[in-house]
């Protein structure tokens, strides 16, 4: 859509809708409305993700493109760094509604800056083929079924949705091979070895590292009994390092081959993952912070050269749609679900749902559900530390006689 209508136009319209839906989320009267507005907010944010890197790539010449992409990645990682901390402070002091108001306000400010600073710039491709509606519909349905299926495992519904999702992806590839202007250029994967290898590396990177922040947060909260704010300050050290090294990684990728810089980043990620495999309940905090920084360093040296290698080798007409953003965010969201399943909590959470049957209480407020879910987290922490613990009791009445230490699981 951005290639056909103009990337700046789509970017600004998406920003406007994003700000509006943030305000709607802040005014949500109940959970159902909040979920609906969050879905719309995510739909509005999708064009922002798919147009930003393409616009930066087209706005800068090849000799300075690496540095520009490095600063763009630094901005992303800086947002990831400050987001949890500022979000926690705002929520704790002003409430969760204020968080959406602040986010919507920042979106509105960004929209004003875009309208003023980019008013003379526009990128649009000379294409006559219509928008690939069928490909978009099949892609959304297939990916939704696949991700939803992982959340329902190990039940039969989950396996069924996964089969439907895989079949839908196969149908999507078939539709795209026949579309005059596909949203995913399948020929790039078939004939362009560089593009296929870059996206394979992206998939491997997310598959290996997505669950790490989730597991480390559980480790800090429930094994080391840190407060949410303290754990947040520990976790942001990794994204902070990412933001710091991304411009340097882009500049280095301009001088050397980007693939070598990205490979060095992957090697640092491997070192960080191996170090976290040795965590125990007595591991010093400096050890955790050090290897969070190592992971952040690896992400920083992988991400920017990967952007440069992928976009720099592609024709301008393919920098918006060429499949890179589709595969990038599909890999990221799908591997988030796979990482959650690999963490071992999803299986215990499924078992915890038994307590909600026949109860009028919302699932997250049911004492048996909360107790089982908390026990699942503790058992996972015991497996991380190599120690065995007594399984959490399934009887909710034990909550009154044997209170457990630490912070209660948030409702």
User: H helices then E strands: how many in the chain?
Assistant: 17, 0
Calculate mean pLDDT across residues 50-69. 71
Structure tokens at 107: 């979106």
**Comparing C-alpha atoms, which of 115, 82, 109 is closest to residue 11?**
115
pTM over 0.75: no
**Residue 51 confidence (pLDDT) above 70:** yes
Q: Could you tell me the CATH superfamily of domain 2-132+179-343? A: MFS general substrate transporter like domains (1.20.1250.20)
Q: Model confidence over 280-300: pLDDT tens digits? A: 888 888 888 888 888 888 888
Calculate mean pLDDT across residues 349-369. 42
The predicted structure's pLDDT at residue 324: 52
Q: Which of 12-21, 79-88, 306-315 has the lowest mean pLDDT?
A: 306-315
Beta-strand ranges (E) seen in 215-374 are: none
DSSP one-letter code for 321: T
Calculate mean pLDDT across residues 96-107. 87
The predicted structure's pLDDT at residue 98: 86
**Residue 316 confidence (pLDDT) above 60:** no
Q: Model confidence over 152-202: pLDDT tens digits? A: 777 788 888 889 888 988 888 888 777 776 777 777 677 767 677 777 777
Calculate mean pLDDT across residues 364-378. 47
**Residue 255 confidence (pLDDT) above 80:** no
Domain boundaries, the chain: 2-132+179-343, 349-401
| DSSP labels, 62-105 | HHHHHHHHHHHHHHHHHHHHHHHHHHHHHHHHH-HHHHHHHHHH
The predicted structure's pLDDT at residue 349: 46
Question: Mean pLDDT over all residues of the chain?
Answer: 70
The predicted structure's pLDDT at residue 394: 43
């Amino acid at each position: 859509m951005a290639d056909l209508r103009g990337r700046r136009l789509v970017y600004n319209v998406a920003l406007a809708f994003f700000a509006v839906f943030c305000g709607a989320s802040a005014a949500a009267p109940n959970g159902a409305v909040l979920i609906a507005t969050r879905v719309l907010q995510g739909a509005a944010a999708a064009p922002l993700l798919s147009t930003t890197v393409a616009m930066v790539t087209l706005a800068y010449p090849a000799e300075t493109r690496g540095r520009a992409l490095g600063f763009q990645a630094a901005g992303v990682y800086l947002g990831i760094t400050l987001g949890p901390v500022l979000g926690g402070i705002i929520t704790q002091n002003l409430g969760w509604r204020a968080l959406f108001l602040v986010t919507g306000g920042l979106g509105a400010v960004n929209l004003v800056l875009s309208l003023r600073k980019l008013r003379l710039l526009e990128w649009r491709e000379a294409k006559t083929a219509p928008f690939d509606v069928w490909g978009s519909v099949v892609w959304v349905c297939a990916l939704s079924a696949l991700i939803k299926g992982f959340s329902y495992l190990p039940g039969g519904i989950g396996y069924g949705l996964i089969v439907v999702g895989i079949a839908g992806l196969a149908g999507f590839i078939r539709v795209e091979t026949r579309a005059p202007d596909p949203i995913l250029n399948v020929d790039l994967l078939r004939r362009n070895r560089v593009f296929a290898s870059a996206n394979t590396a992206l998939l491997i990177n997310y598959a290996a590292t997505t669950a790490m922040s989730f597991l480390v947060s559980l480790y800090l909260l429930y094994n080391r009994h840190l407060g949410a704010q303290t754990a947040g300050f520990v976790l942001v050290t990794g994204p902070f390092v990412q933001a710091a090294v991304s411009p340097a990684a882009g500049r280095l990728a301009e001088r050397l081959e980007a693939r070598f810089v990205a490979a060095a980043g992957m090697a640092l990620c491997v070192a960080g993952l191996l170090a976290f495999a040795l965590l125990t309940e007595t591991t010093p905090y400096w050890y955790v912070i050090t290897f969070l920084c190592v992971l952040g360093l690896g992400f920083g040296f992988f991400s920017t050269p990967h952007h440069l290698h992928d976009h720099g080798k592609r024709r301008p007409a393919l920098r918006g749609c060429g499949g890179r953003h589709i595969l990038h965010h599909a890999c990221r969201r799908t591997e988030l679900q796979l990482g959650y399943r690999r963490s071992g909590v999803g299986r215990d959470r499924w078992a915890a749902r038994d307590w909600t049957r026949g109860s009028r209480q919302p699932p997250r407020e049911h004492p048996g559900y909360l107790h089982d879910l908390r026990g699942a987290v503790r058992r996972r922490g015991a497996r991380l530390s190599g120690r065995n613990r007594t399984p959490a009791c399934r009887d909710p009445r034990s909550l009154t006689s044997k209170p457990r230490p630490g912070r209660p699981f948030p409702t």
